[in-house]
Structure 1
Amino acid sequence: MTFVNRESEIQSLLDRMESNKAELVIVYGRRRIGKTELLRKAFKKEKAVYFVADLGADQDQRRRFSETLNLLYPNPLLQTEIPPQWESLLRYIIELGGKERVILMMDEFPYLCSSHPALPSILQRIWDDVGKDSKLYLILSGSLVSFMEREILGHKSPLYGRRTGQLLLNPLPLYALKEFFPGYSPEDRISAYAILGGVPAYLIQFSDKLSLNQNIEKQILNPTAFLHDEVRFILMEELRDPKHYLSVLQSIAFGNTRMNDIVQRTGIERGPVSKYLSVLQDLRLIEREVPVTEKHPEKSRKGIYRLSDHFFRFWFRFILPYKSRLAEDGGRKILEKEILPHLDNFIGQVFDKICVEIFQHRVKEGKIKLTYESVGRWWSGNEEIDLVAVEGDHPIFAAECKWSKKPVGIDVLRDLQRKVSLITPGGRVADLRLGLFSRSGFTKEVEALGKRGEVDLIDIRKIGMKND
């Protein structure tokens, strides 16, 4: 797998090697995000025990763990026909850690807990007894984010307070795509990002030797391609009965973002829909969004639901609805008739989220000089602003984000100037900076205002270029 943009995560894991004391680190993140590759890369030069759990029975898990451990630290204890219990296995490796630095990585830890629910309590007892005073470097890793946060990191977990560090692995940001697709223009990289998101396992399926259209046809629409049924496989792995979740996700993908709309579209009653939405949030597949200016987001009645994963959104919008037709008509016809005519609109609907990333990056790089606490969309009734940055209770930056083939003109700026009066106390806008993000540049009139410092202009075609 291409491995990019994880230098800080690798370094944080390696830094703990030098402590020469007991370390218990939790590494977690959604499936396909690159946890396994991260751990292998970080400790490739070290003597490390790396064990990946599966859905097998407890005795099978212990047998495989014993065999893995025996490869680096041979012992008759590990070679018996019936494998030792977890307490004996863990005490053995902690005993080794009393003499030297021992690295143990237990990947997909939730699967171990599923086959042996008492394992966190056993580990807690042994850690408190002898582990905390050893030189063991223990890493517990998992893809079930909600489980890791509740059962491992949560205050009710037996392991609560024992961890010495944690690492939540998020999708790669937009700017990392330059390393995946150096041959693409900034516009094509944004399009690829809107389709695939920042999951490394998805990004490596595309090649910048092919056009975006060719990649979609070859790597998504092709029934034998890895990405073709990826979403269904993920949901089957994470959920016992995914059919209702599929309905809810597809409803959101088609623009039904409020509870009542989802209920009406799916035909599922409000109570179960509420439960499905909660589970999907735990899995990091959807997010509840409120206007960025809301003071109490958790209580806001303006909340809407959006798919947080770009590829899931693409799959539910363009693959699932045409599954049967794909078998009959083939990928080329579906691409030309059902995808390409709507692709710009599809990208435009997430362009505001992408512009938030661009804004954050430009602030970090000092290209937009301001400090802020939060940034996101604002809306009220039929009025909406694509990007608003807030400091305290005060909006300090507002921008429109246009994924259009036409240059952004003065009409867009004038409308933004009108709308910002709605989000500022008393309509005072003198201290609020304005910005415009554009796929296709700006008219000369707007460019002139940009040069005078009246508006920040971000032409996405120049992102990552030398003069950006």
Structure 2
Amino acid sequence: MEKPANMFDRDSEWRSLTRFASHPGEGAALGVVYGRRRQGKTFLLDAACRALGGFYFSATEATEAESLSRLGAELSAFLGLPSPLSFTDWYQAVDALLSLGRQGPIPVVIDEFPYLVQATPALPSIVQRAYAPGREERTSSQTRLLLCGSALSFMSRLLSGSAPLRGRAGLEMVVHTLDYRLAGEFWRVPDPNLAVLLNSVVGGTPAYRNEFTLGDTPADREDFDGWVVRNVLERDSPLFREARHLLAEEPSLRDTGLYHSVLAAVAAGNTTRGGIASFIGRKASDLGHPLTVLEDSGLVLREADAFRAGRSTYSIAEPLVTFYHAVMRPEWSRLDRPGLAARVWEQSGKRFYGTVVGPRFEAICRDWCQFHADPESFGGIPSHVGRGIVNDAAQRRSHEVDVAVLGHADGERRPLLAIGEAKWGDVIGMGHLDRLRRIRSILEAHPALNASHTRLLLFSGVGFTEELAQLASEERDIVLVDTQRLYYGA
């Protein structure tokens, strides 16, 4: 089915959704759709219902009785009935939704499903009962029921382990944030350096472009500072409190003070459990639960060290949350007063470029290696791209590796296709190359990795010295990547 003309990207999601919703197979089917807020889930599901003549219901925070009353009224209007339907419980309501598919496949969407479960904790079990094998309400229906929500920790558990709905769903779709390249295209920013700066603030969340900024896009790099002030730091802007709302909307985050402190620690560059614990004044052993909750909520990413088994680092998944904790939260009392936003931003530049843009640029470089680079750049197809720490016993120090490209294991030692260094604000020269060569020589003795053909990747937002550029043109194992190549090349 043709995708709506006003829907940006989401080609894969649209194909999967419409395929499920219009599937001609006998019997009712169940699907689950979830993702962080502001990613366009509602727009996607509503468009599918409009295209296929389906029924869409968006739940709100309400009592069970009020939700059932609203559902009855909206379902009656959908069916063209003269008076509202009345449901005494969700058993009746779910069966009524299943009855919509007696004449053929039809999508039926319950959006913000977690709100309904808050008032009726047994609702997942009620849906399970409705889909029990052999029930006439299920076998005689072709309803394609889609449960949607933004509470990632809750929605991801609907189909896991011993959950009532495990094994019932024919679709489990996660609506992700836009990839950095798509985000640059969506914001219509042709300058790749400006695209990196913009992505470091708002990431790839579609709603931030139109609904939250009214389509205001920085005209050029000179306009970027003004754009940040008027759209993010001004206290009347919707983005001003958005990072706080993202935490408040996640029901599993109860001790919000602790979670804000953990996120502040990560935003400040403390990426290990020990570093986070030291920053917030807790024992490392006390952080297992809050880190797991943040990870399950989609706010924090845990990445295994590419070189040391059992060691992980943490990063914030949503750039706006990083920006809030690194730039806004330390200055909140001043930002909450009128007329000081521009002054705060002027004084926050060093912190922004060091703790926000730098790590975001590194993440973009890793994404380029994983999803956009020509495998010839590495001499092989990457299976995993990460980062890690390499111990240098001879020099009694540790080296951070921003990019580690691992190939598919074809023997006892996994091929290390490339290692890389990413510097947003530095002109990269021979010193950076020598450092990578030193790291590669250490990794040649790694018991689990084959570094005999490892290439050296150098990423820069500023450029490279002439000496390094000349050497890279002569030696195949040196690969230089600027922002133009990150956004438009392979």
Q: How far 1:12 moved relative to its partner?
A: 1.1
**Superposition map of 1:84-233 within 5 A:** 84-128=88-132, 129=135, 130-132=137-139, 134-150=141-157, 152-204=158-210, 205=213, 206-209=216-219, 211-233=223-245
Letter matched to residue 218 of structure 1: R
Q: How far 1:429 moved relative to its partner?
A: 4.0
Q: Which of 32, 40, 44 matches 1:34?
A: 40
Letter matched to residue 465 of structure 2: T
Quick check: 1:11 aligned with 2:15? yes
Q: Which runs of 5+ in 2 are unaligned?
A: 392-397
User: CA 1:189–1:2 in structure 2 vs 1: closer, same or farther (change >3 Å)?
Assistant: farther
**Superposition map of 1:15-414 within 5 A:** 15-21=19-25, 22-75=28-81, 78-80=84-86, 83-128=87-132, 129=135, 130-132=137-139, 134-150=141-157, 152-204=158-210, 205=213, 206-209=216-219, 211-238=223-250, 239-268=253-282, 272-295=286-309, 300=310, 302-326=311-335, 327=337, 330-337=340-347, 339-346=348-355, 347-363=357-373, 370-381=380-391, 382-391=398-407, 392=409, 393-406=414-427, 408-414=428-434
Cα distance in 2 for partners of 1:294, 1:131 equals 51
SS in 2 for 1:44: helix
Taking structure 2 as the reference length, what is the TM-score of the superposition? 0.87
User: CA 1:76–1:270 in structure 2 vs 1: closer, same or farther (change >3 Å)?
Assistant: farther
Cα distance in 1 for partners of 2:169, 2:437 equals 49
Asked if structure 2 preserves the Cα contact closer than 8 Å seen for 1:440 and 1:461, the reply is no
Asked if structure 1 preserves the Cα contact closer than 8 Å seen for 2:189 and 2:195, the reply is no
Asked if structure 2 preserves the Cα contact closer than 8 Å seen for 1:378 and 1:386, the reply is yes
Q: How far 1:303 moved relative to its partner?
A: 2.2
Moved more, 110-119 or 380-389: 380-389
SS in 1 for 2:145: strand
Query: Which whole-Å deviations, capped at 9, do the CAs of 1:404-452 have from their partners, x for residues lacking one?
Result: 242x212211210110122234697432122211112222222223323
Aligned residues: 457
SS in 2 for 1:112: helix
User: CA 1:23–1:365 in structure 2 vs 1: closer, same or farther (change >3 Å)?
Assistant: farther
Letter matched to residue 164 of structure 1: G
SS in 2 for 1:164: strand
Letter matched to residue 467 of structure 2: E
Letter matched to residue 267 of structure 1: G
Taking structure 1 as the reference length, what is the TM-score of the superposition? 0.90
Query: Which whole-Å deviations, capped at 9, do the CAs of 1:198-236 have from their partners, x for residues lacking one?
Result: 222234435133622111100111001011011112222
User: CA 1:286–1:405 in structure 2 vs 1: closer, same or farther (change >3 Å)?
Assistant: same
User: CA 1:201–1:70 in structure 2 vs 1: closer, same or farther (change >3 Å)?
Assistant: same
User: CA 1:359–1:76 in structure 2 vs 1: closer, same or farther (change >3 Å)?
Assistant: same
Q: How far 1:132 moved relative to its partner?
A: 5.0
Moved more, 224-233 or 270-279: 270-279
Letter matched to residue 30 of structure 1: R
Letter matched to residue 138 of structure 1: L
Moved more, 340-349 or 51-60: 340-349
Greater length-normalized contact order (CA 8 Å, ≥ 6 residues apart): 1
Moved more, 164-173 or 359-368: 359-368
Asked if structure 1 preserves the Cα contact closer than 8 Å seen for 2:419 and 2:455, the reply is yes
Cα distance in 1 for partners of 2:140, 2:233 equals 54
SS in 2 for 1:79: coil
Cα distance in 2 for partners of 1:8, 1:179 equals 17
Letter matched to residue 101 of structure 1: P
Asked if structure 2 preserves the Cα contact closer than 8 Å seen for 1:104 and 1:139, the reply is yes
Cα distance in 1 for partners of 2:99, 2:190 equals 53
Partner of 1:419: 439
User: CA 1:366–1:143 in structure 2 vs 1: closer, same or farther (change >3 Å)?
Assistant: farther
Cα distance in 2 for partners of 1:462, 1:390 equals 21
Asked if structure 1 preserves the Cα contact closer than 8 Å seen for 2:378 and 2:418, the reply is no
Asked if structure 1 preserves the Cα contact closer than 8 Å seen for 2:23 and 2:105, the reply is no
Cα RMSD of the aligned pairs, angstroms, is 2.5
**Superposition map of 1:435-450 within 5 A:** 435-450=457-472
Q: How far 1:40 moved relative to its partner?
A: 2.0
Asked if structure 2 preserves the Cα contact closer than 8 Å seen for 1:362 and 1:368, the reply is no
SS in 2 for 1:122: helix
SS in 1 for 2:263: helix
Cα distance in 2 for partners of 1:284, 1:183 equals 27
Asked if structure 2 preserves the Cα contact closer than 8 Å seen for 1:291 and 1:379, the reply is yes
User: CA 1:415–1:38 in structure 2 vs 1: closer, same or farther (change >3 Å)?
Assistant: same
Asked if structure 2 preserves the Cα contact closer than 8 Å seen for 1:58 and 1:112, the reply is yes
SS in 1 for 2:116: helix
Cα distance in 2 for partners of 1:245, 1:355 equals 28
Cα distance in 2 for partners of 1:457, 1:133 equals 61
Q: How far 1:34 moved relative to its partner?
A: 1.9
SS in 1 for 2:477: coil
Q: How far 1:365 moved relative to its partner?
A: 8.2
Q: How far 1:274 moved relative to its partner?
A: 2.9
Q: Which runs of 5+ in 1 are unaligned?
A: none
Query: Which whole-Å deviations, capped at 9, do the CAs of 1:262-288 have from their partners, x for residues lacking one?
Result: 333323455653322221111111122
